[in-house]
Structure 1
Amino acid sequence: MRVIFMGTPDFSVPTLTEIVAAGHEVVAVYTRAPKPAGRGQAERKSPIHLAAENFGIPIYTPKSLKGAGEQAEFAAHDADVAIVVAYGLLLPKQVLNAPAHGCLNLHGSLLPRWRGAAPIQRAIMAGDARTGVMVMQMDEGLDTGAIGLADEMAIGPDMTAGELHDIMMRTGADLMGRALAALERGSLEFTPQPETGALYAKKIEKAEARIDWSRPAHDVHNHIRGLSPFPGAWFEIELASKHVRVKALRSTLANGNGAPGTVLHGELTIACGSGAVRLMQVQREGKSAMDAATFLRGTGQLPVAVN
């Protein structure tokens, strides 16, 4: 099939690789334009940009697809279908309707639950036990299109968003490969999403990353693992009369009670509003990630409390 691929981050790369390996003709790759990054502010290409270069596929980086010129250029590819995986730009109706079979999106939740920008993080932060990836026929709504294929998976009690991201990335690539094969055979059928159960997974804001130890331990634990590794839930301790920010990257539920934020014993177990969490991996500001024991040795003391 003639395919347009639209994606930007590393989450998208396995799906593009799967499509190329299956022998489809990827006639164009659309991705976000390179952005200044790092100390030197040199322009950095997206992971999909680099992958497309490696495959020798023509690359397009429009700032918007709302203009008539961009839409005409998109339609001129004469594609059978467009595959969209974490692209990052709004697709107008003219773009959605340009390929013969429209646009298929790979989404990381069990729709209609967790429509929107951060479904992986929000599912973990809410304490969901199961999630999935879905191939959806895109329409003009926000993740409201009919579902073609789905794969469910469990969310482990200590699983982080980063771990779930990597599982979904591989599972989603296989799922999209199967969807394209079914589309080519004419056997891909779509089912409208249920009318009930819709939740919106809003973008993660930096302001919500600070840990509130007054919440119940299971909420704090879900908050930590849902924001790991990025942007990272954080707290502050006082060292040498200075407030030092620490990211909590991995945690587990623990026994213990005390005033919220109190460090309960020799390992890094911290009391919450009810119950406690034990921090397994942390990262001091300006330092590399480390296990709790290494962190405590480095501080030279056991913090009395955190905030």
Structure 2
Amino acid sequence: MKVAFAGTPDFAATILRALISSPHDVGLVISQPDPRKGRGRKTTPTPVAELARSHDLLLTQPARISEISDELAAYDALIVAAYGQILRPDSLYATRRGAWNVHASLLPKYRGAAPVERAIMNGETETGVTIMRMDEGLDTGPMALQRSVNIPPDVNAGELAGLLAGAGAKAIVESLSLLENDSLTLVEQDSLFATYASKVLDEDRILRWEWGVRQVHDVIRALAPGIGARTSHPEVEGPIKIWRSRILESESVSLEAGRIEAGNGRMVVYCGSGSLEVLDLQRPGGRRLPARDFLRGTPLEGAFV
């Protein structure tokens, strides 16, 4: 099949790489405009744009995909993976066989913008990917294939996204082959079981040390390596980001939530129930550091708040 592909981050680049290696013909790649990053505000290519250029694929990066909806009529299908825009009907229905999304959850659970982060935040032990024919709703279209993926207890969002991208890459190639042979069966979603993965807000990043240790740990790993979970300390101006932690398997000790025990290069923090070791963290304006190095420059006493 001759397909167009729309995607932007690393997750999408993994999907595109599989399509390039498949029997299907990727005739057009669509990505968000290259962002400007760093102090010099230099343009940095999106992972999908970089991959497309390296394979000499036709690439376009419109401000809105609707600007090129007429061009999509030349393709059998549009494949969408973490593109970053809501598609209007003129793009959804432009290709001969519709638009197909690689969604990082087992729909109808975790419809929406942040399925990977929300699954980890909620302590899920299993998630997956769904290949879905897109309609005008929010991840409401009929499903073609689903593949389950286990969530290891210490995996972070970036690592889980990589696992899901690998599963999604195989699933979309298989789905396209079935679609080409007119043997793809679609199953409608049961909206009674739908849940929503809303975008992560600033308030979601704040660690509440009165929570149980598992919930605190889950928030930390759900926001790494992206925006990072945050906490505060009276001796540090501005938020401290906590990037990595591990739950300590020990008897519960009744101490003040947020209480820090630092020594021998280790940082232990007590939660509402249980305690965890902070492994990597970052002070405002600084670099991400292992706890040992952080404590050399910023010795902390007392408690996080």
- TM-score norm. by structure 2 comes to 0.92
**What is aligned with 1:297?**
296
Counterpart in the other structure of 2:9:
9
Deviation, 1:244, is 5.5
For residues 16-55 of structure 1, the aligned pairs below 5 Å read 16-55=16-55
State how far apart, in whole Å, the 2-side matches of 1:282 and 1:205 are.
Answer: 20
* Paired residues of 1:238 and 1:303 also in contact (CA < 8 A): no
Residues 72 and 43 (structure 1 numbering): CA distance in 2 closer, same or farther, change over 3 Å?
same
**1:60 match:** 60
* Contact 1:257/1:272 (<8 A) preserved: no
Cα offset for 1:115? Answer: 0.5
Question: Which residue of the partner structure matches residue 213 of structure 1?
Answer: 209
Are residues 1:252 and 2:246 paired?
Answer: yes
Contact 1:115 1:200 survives alignment (8 Å)? yes
Counterpart of 1:71 in structure 2 is 69
* 8 Å CA contact 1:206, 1:231 repeated in 2: no
Q: Are positions 1:243 and 2:237 aligned together?
A: yes
Q: CA deviation at 1:295?
A: 2.7
**Contact 2:237 2:284 (8 Å CA) reproduced:** no
Contact 2:262 2:301 in 1 (8 A): no
Partner of 1:108: 104
Q: How many residues align?
A: 300
Return the offset for 1:141: 0.5
**Corresponding residue SS for 2:193:** coil
Return the alpha-carbon distance in structure 2 between the equivalents of residues 204 and 244 of structure 1. 20
SS in structure 2 of the partner of residue 17 of structure 1: helix
Report deviation, 1:104: 0.8
Contact between 1:161 and 1:229, CA under 8 Å: does it hold in 2?
yes
Report what 1:189 is aligned to.
Answer: 185
* Equivalent-residue separation in structure 1 for 2:224 and 2:24 (angstroms): 35
Distance, in Å, in 1 between the alignment partners of 2:42 and 2:279 is 35
Q: Is the 8 A contact 1:130 1:152 kept in 2?
A: yes
1:153 maps to which of 126, 149, 159: 149
Q: 5+ unaligned residues in a row in structure 1: which ranges?
A: none
Partner Cα distance (2:226, 2:286) in 1: 15
Report deviation, 1:110: 0.9
- In structure 1, the partner of 2:283 is 284
Alignment of 1:94-105 (within 5 A): 94-105=90-101
User: What is the CA-CA distance between 1:124 and the residue it aligns to?
Assistant: 0.4
Q: Secondary structure at the match of 1:196?
A: helix
Runs of 4+ in 1 over 4 A off after TM superposition: none
Letter paired with 2:301: P
Whole-Å Cα distance in 1 between the matches of residues 50 and 261 of structure 2? 48
Deviations 1:236-263 (A, max 9, x none): 2355xx4364221122223333111111
Contact kept, 8 Å, 1:135 with 1:147, in 2: the verdict is yes
Contact 1:211 1:235 survives alignment (8 Å): yes
TM-score (norm 1): 0.91
Percent of aligned pairs with the same residue? Answer: 36
CA contact (8 A) 1:121 1:227 kept: yes
Task: State the alpha-carbon separation in 2 of the partners of residues 225 and 210 from structure 1.
Answer: 13
Partner of 2:228: 232
User: In structure 1, which of residues 160, 174, 177 is the aligned counterpart of residue 173 of structure 2?
Assistant: 177
Task: Structure 2: give runs of 5+ residues left out of the alignment.
Answer: none
The 8 Å contact of residues 28 and 59 in structure 1, kept in 2 or not, is answered as yes
